C-alpha cells in the first residue's frame, strides 16, 4: 500500500507565542440586488430558451433563483413584464433627423434595424404585435418616424397610416421567419439559425412544381415559377419593403404642382 501523503510537508505545530484564533466564518458572496432590469434580462433568457408560450413568472423567478413573490416588487404582472421586454428593444434604437431627400433610405434603415431587433429574441414578433408603442417612454420613437414621413411631404392621412403599415409588415415577416425557425428545430435543425430548413432544396422543388402545372389553368404561376420562391429572406424582405415605399412615394405631390 502506498502512502498518498508521502512527500507532502506536514503542517508545523503552533508556535508558543501564537494566540489561538476562532475559526473564520465563511462569508456568503453578496447577492446582486433584484431590479426590473435583471427581471427583464432573465425573461429574455427564458424566452429564447423556451418560447413565449412557456414563459411564466415562475420560470423567470427560477432563472433568478428567487421566489416568485420577489418579482412583484419590480413588475406587476406577466403583461407588465412583456411590455418592459418590448420597451427594452427601443433602448438602443434611434431614428435619424428627418431628411426629405433621403426619406426612403431612412425608412429602409429603420425597417431593417427593427427586423434585426425582433430576430434577436425568439417570439419577439408575437410580443411586438400585441403591444403598441404609445407609452410615455416610446412616444418619441413614434414621433420621430412620423416626422420622416411628414417632412418628406406625404399627405397627413397617408403619413398617419404609414408607420403602422410598415411596422405591421416587419412584425408579420419576422413572425413567419420565427415559425420556419421553430419548424426547423422540430425536425432536428438548429433553432438559432435564421435560415429555413433545407430552403434551397425546398425552393427548387416548389419552382419545379409550379413550372409543371397545366399552362391552360395556371399560366401566371408557370410564368413566374422561377421568381415565386427565393432562397434569401433578406431579398424577400427588401422587395416587399420596396413595394411599400414606392406606393407611399406615389402620394407625394408632383414637383410641378
CATH superfamily, domain 36-88, is Homeodomain-like (1.10.10.60)
- CA 234 to centroid of chain Cα atoms: 16
**pLDDT tens-place string over residues 5-57:** 555 556 556 555 444 545 554 544 456 889 999 999 999 999 999 999 999 99
The residue ranges of every structural domain in the chain are: 36-88, 103-249
Q: Please give the backbone phi and psi of residue 105, each rounded to the nearest 5 degrees, phi first.
A: -60, -40
Note the pTM of the prediction, 2 decimals.
0.78
* Residue 204 near residue 230, CB atoms below 8 Å: no
Beta carbons within 8 Å of 177's beta carbon, 6+ residues apart? 119, 125, 194, 233
**pLDDT tens-place string over residues 195-254:** 445 556 677 788 889 999 999 999 999 999 888 776 688 988 999 999 999 999 999 988
Beta carbons within 8 Å of 142's beta carbon, 6+ residues apart? 133, 134, 163
pLDDT at 95: 86
Rounded CA-CA distance 236/127 in Å is: 23
Domain 103-249 adopts which CATH fold? Tetracycline Repressor; domain 2 (1.10.357)
Amino acid at each position: 500500500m502506498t502512502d498518498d501523503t508521502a512527500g507532502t510537508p506536514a503542517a508545523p505545530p503552533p508556535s508558543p507565542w501564537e494566540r489561538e484564533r476562532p475559526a473564520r466564518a465563511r462569508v456568503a458572496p453578496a447577492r446582486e440586488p433584484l431590479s426590473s432590469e435583471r427581471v427583464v434580462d432573465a425573461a429574455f433568457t427564458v424566452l429564447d430558451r423556451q418560447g413565449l408560450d412557456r414563459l411564466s413568472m415562475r420560470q423567470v423567478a427560477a432563472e433568478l433563483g428567487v421566489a416568485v413573490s420577489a418579482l412583484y416588487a419590480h413588475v406587476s404582472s406577466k403583461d407588465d413584464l412583456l411590455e418592459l421586454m418590448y420597451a427594452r428593444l427601443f433602448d438602443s434604437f434611434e431614428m435619424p433627423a428627418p431628411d426629405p431627400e433621403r426619406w426612403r433610405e431612412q425608412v429602409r434603415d429603420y425597417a431593417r434595424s427593427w427586423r434585426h431587433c425582433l430576430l434577436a429574441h425568439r417570439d419577439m414578433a408575437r410580443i411586438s404585435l400585441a403591444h403598441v408603442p404609445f407609452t410615455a417612454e416610446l412616444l418619441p420613437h413614434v414621433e420621430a418616424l412620423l416626422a420622416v414621413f411628414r417632412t418628406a411631404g406625404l399627405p397627413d392621412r397617408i403619413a398617419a397610416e404609414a408607420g403602422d403599415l410598415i411596422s405591421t409588415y416587419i412584425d408579420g415577416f419576422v413572425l413567419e421567419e420565427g415559425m420556419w425557425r421553430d419548424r426547423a428545430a422540430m425536425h432536428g435543425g438548429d433553432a438559432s439559425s435564421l435560415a429555413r430548413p433545407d430552403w434551397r432544396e425546398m425552393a427548387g422543388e416548389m419552382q419545379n412544381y409550379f413550372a409543371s402545372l397545366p399552362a391552360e389553368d395556371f399560366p401566371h404561376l408557370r410564368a413566374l415559377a422561377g421568381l415565386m420562391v427565393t432562397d434569401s429572406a433578406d431579398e424577400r424582405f427588401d422587395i416587399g419593403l420596396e413595394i411599400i415605399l414606392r406606393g407611399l412615394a406615389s402620394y407625394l405631390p408632383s414637383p410641378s404642382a
